[in-house]
A and B are shown apart, each in its own frame.
Chain A
Amino acid sequence: MNRAAEFAVIAVLAASPALAQEIGFGDVPYEKLATREATEQSMMTKLARQMDVEWGPWYLLSPFPGNDSDGSLVRPLPPEDELPRMAAGGPGPDLTRVYEGKSGLTPKWTELGPDDDRAVDLRVFNDEELNTNAIAFLYRTVTAPASGKFDLAMGSDDGLEFWLNGRLLVQADQPRSMDPEAHHIALDLQKGVNHILCKVSQGNGSWEYLLNRRHELNPFDDAKLQACLNRDFPTPEQPFYTLETIPIPNDIVLEVGGLAALADGRLGVSTRRGDIYFVDYNGTSGGSIFAPIYSRFASGLHEALGLAARTEQGRQVLYAVQRGELTRLVDLDGDDRCDVYEAYCDSWGVSGNYHEFAFGPKFDAEGNAWVSLNVGFCGSLGKSIAPYRGWIGKVTPRGEFIPIADGARSPNGIGILPTGEVFYVDNQGDYVGTNRMSLVAPGLWEGHPSSLRWRDGLAGFAKEPQRQRATIWFPYQKMGQSTADITVDSTAGKFGPFAGQIFVGDQMNAAVYRVTLEKIGDIWQGACYPFRAGGDCGVNRIVFDAEGSMLIGETDRGWGSMGRKRYGIQRIKWTGKTPFEIHTMSAVPGGFELQFTQDIDTKSAADPASYAMTSYTYEYHQTYGSDEMETQRPTITGAAVVGPRTVRLTVAGLRSGGEGFVHELHAEGVRDATGAPLLHAAAYYTLQKAPG
């Protein structure tokens, strides 16, 4: 983008309130210390209301008769007569009193000792009958140096009643397993001795209680604190693209399966647990980035791994893909709640295998909704058990499923270029050497053999098709371990210098990578580049909002990822400052041409020693994944500066064809006109066809 446009954009951004924000934490002042770690620790101690208190040992009183199915937890038992003695500062229960318990036993308070942050296992009896259909009481004191609130969480197996100083704070009469964060409460501690009484019911199986003193901020303070820390202790990428967490309340599990920018400026989020939420983070109705407003639009969907928003006849309509169905969701009366769940298309199979996900929809210019279907996994091999598993297809506006291409394995991402070409990303596994992006077009076979079986009888699908090669290889671990989503930068410059390029997410590295494509002859190929790392969790979906910011949706359930969290949404925003990056790496006869985002320093750019290159390929075979094979070191024999931001490299030893050779470039020695090095010096070009 040229300088004038850049300044214009900066001016716009500077005027917006977002840049001028001061992040406050209520009455707690933000104080920056010498290191990020120290600052974070100090702020967490101040914000998480957990003053230094003294916890007394646990006492256990058990067993009493109980039976979870008839609500006996809430029926008062004699130990609760002592509650008046457990008022703040009171004497506490009579620990010598003997009670009538279950099966003729006479329980008495027994000291258990401290809990060392672990759950208290209440199955203390050697008798199965006493550990079944019973109720136990736990008691302890907590002595506070001053009055104040104390945040903590707790959980139990099975049901629970919890009193502090004689007041009932938690009542959960149900059979359930231990969730350490089943209840988040704030204790109102008085100076001096406070009394805690717990009543825990037991059906059968596990029987435990956990007082969870884990030091944790509420999500809103946490997001704000991270934003302050990122600002004050920036990573190299931070000055150009900020990364903010949009906080999620504790009772919403936002494992993002789909994202859609809604017409009113809100963000539509579909989750793997089957919900669709609208998130106001940008002022639509009073929500803001650190105080967003969530409303639940729909629920009950079967792992909604994709969401799209359309306007049909003036009304907003959502489309979500479930494992077995593309569903059309309509709010008829405008109350932000879905009224119609329409089975728009369910013409593909789903057998019940855990890995049979469905991804999409991405709409093309004709209004077809493109979906892609994961194969099932049996052992470590993909198997297309049910119809069209491993296929990519489109659903017409009449709801008809048109199969387009097969041979996919784990196609978690479809992208449609403005010019109409369709690409998808596949994940490393059997027959997939490493993560890749590949072209999708009618009749193509992407390589996994298990889905070929559905070609029988389909017109336009050869029985033994040619295998489509990779358009872009994402070298394993360096460029992620699990590529997800394909999103084109359609912001016309509001998101910085990469307008028109493609962004993909990574579910392991919690990062976003960048892709450029070009066509040499009739072959699509191109390069991938690092863009932004440091996400809270594995990145699964990417969209742009009307302001030109990137929203990323995250989840890692089922595989784990880098990052502090297990799900979330974050916003990546261009600060207006353009990083010094390799804008585009393209193939030219005899080598590659590099286009940079800033003017370059001629001396360093023209020195072949500023660059280093390796090349390798991957093997196509049944074994899970492939090593980098046939590694070589092509020599960069010349580097010619052909423009203020352009360099042409002459490379000896280029290789193309086969499965595609990745040419991994490191331009560590290149400087921009101010003497600064590249923000990311690596670029990975997959050469299928050498030009010229």
Chain B
Amino acid sequence: MNRSASPRTRTHRARAAILGAGLCLLPIACSKPAPPPPSGAGSRAVSAVSPSANGPTGWIASAGAEHWLSPTAAFALDPDQSLLPGLAPEGMHVGFETIVTIEHSGRYRFGAEVEGGAATLSLQPPAGPARQSALKPGDNLSWSDWVQLDTGYVAVSISFTRDGNAKARLRPLWEMAPAGADGFRAEPIPSRLARVPAAAEADTAKAQQVARGRLLLGQLGCVNCHDAPGGATAERAAPNLADIAQRAGAAWMLKWISVPQLMNPGCGMPDVVGDSPEAIAEAQAIVAFLESLAPATDWPAPATEDAVLTAGKTLYESIGCIACHGAPVSKNNTEWSPRVPFGDLTGKWNPAALAAYLREPHLNRPSGRMPSLLLTEQESDQLATYLAHEWGPGSGERPDSTPEQVAQGRAAFTSRGCVNCHDLGDLTPGADIKPLSGLDDTAGCLNPDDALTPRYAISAEDAEALRAAIKIISTWDSTFPAPLDHAALAIESLNCIACHEWHEQGGVSPAIRDKFETQNDVDLGDEGRLPPRLAGVGWKLTSQWLIQVLGDGARARPYMNARMPVFASPHAPALVDELAQTDGVWPGSDAREPESNDRMVQAGLKLVGDGGLNCIACHAFADKPPVGLPGPNIAQFGERLRYDWFKRYIHAPPRFKPGTRMPSFFLTGQSPITTVLAGDTDKQTDAMWDYFSLGELFMPTPEGVMAEGGMALQVKDRPMVLRTFLKGVGSRGIAIGFPRACTSATTPPPRASPTPGPASFSTPPGPGRGGEGTSSVARGQPSGQRRRARSSLPASNPPSGATPRRPTTEATSSTRMVPPPSCPASAR
């Protein structure tokens, strides 16, 4: 069966603890411990074929002396691109190893799509010989032979040697026979079933350490001072200080310049000035200098109305802020450690400036790490009010300053090195600072006793990671563009994993999951309220859609409260292509799409409508919402999805989206709709794709797309009664529509009290579209007594809607309950 079964511990997601107090960065790939081997007909786990007990999912990759972690062993490289910055593209030779979990005994085969090089695949089951096969280059898939594997593990390794500097691509796949019953069709090996071998633990630890160090080099801004080769890290520009004095309170600035590591341990701003008595004067001078850069501005008193604060708090907790930042006051994060805690922000923000910043964060922070959540003006005001209230108010008061102080401050700004990170245009960097390669890694910032260099609160472990990274970078003679490497750095530095699970790491912390909700409480489970997993996103989504998502606010899940931000980061545009390359597909490409003709499009149209697979029951179509639980919009499929992904996904959705509500229509290998294209699932898949490809402008409306407006009831010439939830009346309301007048509503005895009712009322059609009449909680007390009050309602069977004794084929109208036009306006 194509169920994604897994051994018992899968649901216990142990999150690794943060190393060091309050560090804002998680080490990469600290995911849950390996499951015990699935017990089967004897546990035959041999030490060579066992996964690392605490290691990460994915593959361990090696080239020369360097090792790194690859989630899928897939890649797609243009000429002159490499897998690592320091690895020459020409004749690149790389090996990947992993332990794959076999969940069901059966016949398997492994293979890969290979381009631009020669590859060898090796399989080592727990018992028996290893099998090797050469995978030939070319567009076609290359497979090993079928092999019988039992539940347990199998070691897989692939080595690849590039043909000169050619375009090179590798995408490992696997398949289990027979498809449709227990087996599955060819698909990329899911990273959740791949884990680094126990034998490679040392290399893995080293790789993780280097990766951590390289990340820190960017996050802590080391490379802003120490020149590093391109690609060494993902650079991070520091905030723009040209108008800081208009945003931040002077008292806070003074403190921040002095002891930032005390206020926000582990953040990217080092202690430079310190808080000794001599240092205070220097700090004040720097503040004076900064204030001289920007004229005074209004500092409005923050609003204090409960309604605004509540609205701000609701926004903060529901649209996603909380996932990166945690609680506004950092010490309130008791159950988890967010990656970007605020630290001490008491008195920092000018509320008006904060609201403006939230709307356009890239103006102040060119690094783009703080993205825009497409807030309206009202929303940013509410958020700013709430945050300012939580942090504590500041004031726009500026201390007096003298021109000497300003000059002193300007000098200090250069001499202390502030200008290396905080570019101010007209100031040039001062001191002669060594480049990163060949740096003495026991001196300077990494020497705990050297007070003359910037002080970062780095743990011993992180210091070792930095040293390891510097060592590796120092070995790079020349550097080359390495798209996958850059993508991995970007995903961590832009903090995607605070919300999105990326190959078993990250995702919304369990401590705050309950804050993530859907609009109108649609019952979609986690699929509807948590941001989607990103594994395979480059394979699934088109480049043109990803660009819109990252840069333009395009959304596929309007029912989710959490918002996908828009990233103005310099790393974001490249990420679109890099995500595809990480999945081993050429950016902007797709598998050869099926031939489209009228017959196929018509077949696809029928399948999508309510005479076929009834996709429209759940998936919205253009601007028409679905009746049931909402799914992404059909009209967007052609522009969003890649055919290569769709044709695999549709056959077994739970394999690609564990826990999805999407049914497996083709579970048995046969389509339930036998009358379209003779029930052939491949042809039906192609037909649906041909229909999607027409795009929103040209695709005809599927049959059965629901009329809007719920189901209003129309009164004709006899009164009509409806029991329903009625706003303002209760959950046991009786609404009565009279032909000449309007509705009135009453609760059943004993509290019968007729009240004027709404002009029209309807039954909610489905859970996603709460109709009118959802009332507030009515607390009925359970009664053990007899309740057989006789109802005095008249027989209410208006002929409208009731069928005559003879079946008819003509209906005049569907049942409605709306006052006829003759109803006087005042009575409504």
Stretch at the interface among A292-300, A488-496, A602-610: A292-300
Give bound CA distance, A624 to B613, whole Å. 25
Give bound CA distance, A619 to B659, whole Å. 14
Give bound CA distance, A219 to B514, whole Å. 47
Q: Are B712 and A386 in contact, CB atoms less than 8 angstroms apart?
A: no
Nearest B-chain residue to A344, judged by Cβ = B788
In the assembled complex, which residues on chain A have CB atoms less than 8 Å from the CB atom of B40? 632-633
Chain A, residues 167-193, CB within 8 Å of chain B (1/0): the string is 000001111111111111110000000
Chain A, residues 391-415, CB within 8 Å of chain B (1/0): the string is 0000000111101000000000000
Q: Are B708 and A177 in contact, CB atoms less than 8 angstroms apart?
A: yes
Contact for B777 among A37, A386, A629, CB less than 8 A:
A386
Nearest A-chain residue to B523, judged by Cβ = A377
**Nearest CB in chain B: distance from A325 CB, A:** 7
**Nearest CB in chain A: distance from B798 CB, A:** 8
Give bound CA distance, A250 to B721, whole Å. 22
In the assembled complex, which residues on chain B have CB atoms less than 8 Å from the CB atom of A559? 617-618, 628-629, 766-767
Q: Are B529 and A558 in contact, CB atoms less than 8 angstroms apart?
A: no
In the assembled complex, which residues on chain B have CB atoms less than 8 Å from the CB atom of A561? 614, 617
Stretch at the interface among A68-76, A261-269, A308-316, A540-548: A68-76
Contact for A116 among B41, B611, B700, B705, CB less than 8 A:
B700
Stretch at the interface among A88-96, A124-132, A519-527, A562-570: A562-570
**Nearest CB in chain B: distance from A306 CB, A:** 15
In the assembled complex, which residues on chain A have CB atoms less than 8 Å from the CB atom of B81? none
In the assembled complex, which residues on chain A have CB atoms less than 8 Å from the CB atom of B667? 477-478
Q: Are B674 and A249 in contact, CB atoms less than 8 angstroms apart?
A: no
Contact for A614 among B104, B664, B784, B810, CB less than 8 A:
B104
Q: Are B5 and A388 in contact, CB atoms less than 8 angstroms apart?
A: no
Q: A379-B517, A562-B613 are in contact. Are A299 and B821 (CB under 8 A)?
A: no
Give bound CA distance, A632 to B152, whole Å. 11
Give bound CA distance, A377 to B628, whole Å. 15
Q: Any chain A CB within 8 A of the CB of B806?
A: yes
Q: Are B723 and A177 in contact, CB atoms less than 8 angstroms apart?
A: no
Q: Are B663 and A299 in contact, CB atoms less than 8 angstroms apart?
A: no
Q: Are A560 and B618 in contact, CB atoms less than 8 angstroms apart?
A: yes
Q: Any chain B CB within 8 A of the CB of A380?
A: yes
Nearest A-chain residue to B793, judged by Cβ = A341
Instruction: Report, as a range, how many residues of chain A touch the other chain.
Output: 35 or more
Nearest B-chain residue to A172, judged by Cβ = B813
Chain B, residues 742-784, CB within 8 Å of chain A (1/0): the string is 0000001000000000000001111100100011111111111
Give bound CA distance, A40 to B678, whole Å. 12
Q: Any chain A CB within 8 A of the CB of B722?
A: yes
Give bound CA distance, A378 to B732, whole Å. 20
Give bound CA distance, A172 to B821, whole Å. 11
Chain A, residues 616-648, CB within 8 Å of chain B (1/0): the string is 100101011111111111010000000000000
Contact for A377 among B521, B708, B811, B825, CB less than 8 A:
B521
Nearest A-chain residue to B760, judged by Cβ = A175
**Nearest CB in chain B: distance from A453 CB, A:** 12
Contact for B778 among A296, A352, A623, CB less than 8 A:
A352
**Nearest CB in chain A: distance from B606 CB, A:** 10
In the assembled complex, which residues on chain A have CB atoms less than 8 Å from the CB atom of B678? 35, 37
Q: Are A302 and B787 in contact, CB atoms less than 8 angstroms apart?
A: no
In the assembled complex, which residues on chain A have CB atoms less than 8 Å from the CB atom of B8? 619, 629-630
Q: Any chain A CB within 8 A of the CB of B704?
A: yes
In the assembled complex, which residues on chain A have CB atoms less than 8 Å from the CB atom of B712? 176
Nearest A-chain residue to B700, judged by Cβ = A117
Give bound CA distance, A231 to B122, whole Å. 53
Stretch at the interface among A135-143, A332-340, A362-370: A332-340
**Nearest CB in chain A: distance from B626 CB, A:** 7
**Which residues of chain B have a CB within 8 Å of any CB of chain A?**
1, 3-8, 10-11, 38-41, 103-105, 151, 514, 517-518, 521, 523-526, 528-529, 610-614, 616-618, 626-629, 654, 658-659, 663-665, 667, 672, 674-678, 700-701, 703-705, 707-709, 711-712, 714, 720-725, 731-732, 734, 748, 763-767, 770, 774-791, 793, 795-797, 801-803, 805-816, 818, 820-822, 825
Q: List 24 A-B contacts (CB under 8 A).
A: A68-B821, A173-B821, A177-B707, A180-B707, A220-B809, A250-B809, A251-B811, A251-B813, A252-B801, A293-B807, A344-B787, A347-B783, A354-B764, A386-B731, A401-B784, A403-B782, A477-B667, A563-B614, A624-B525, A627-B11, A628-B5, A629-B6, A632-B39, A635-B41
Q: Which 5 A-B pairs have the closest CB atoms?
A: A560-B617, A251-B811, A177-B709, A302-B723, A624-B525
**Which residues of chain A have a CB within 8 Å of any CB of chain B?**
35-37, 40, 68-71, 116-118, 155, 172-186, 206, 214, 218-220, 235, 247, 249-253, 273-274, 277, 291-296, 298-303, 322-325, 337-355, 377-380, 385-388, 398-401, 403, 429, 454, 476-478, 481, 508-509, 533-534, 556-566, 614, 616, 619, 621, 623-633, 635
Contacts A345-B787, A346-B732, A346-B748 known; list 17 others, CB within 8 Å.
Answer: A35-B678, A40-B675, A155-B707, A214-B703, A274-B722, A291-B807, A299-B721, A355-B767, A380-B523, A386-B780, A387-B779, A403-B782, A557-B765, A559-B617, A560-B627, A627-B3, A629-B8
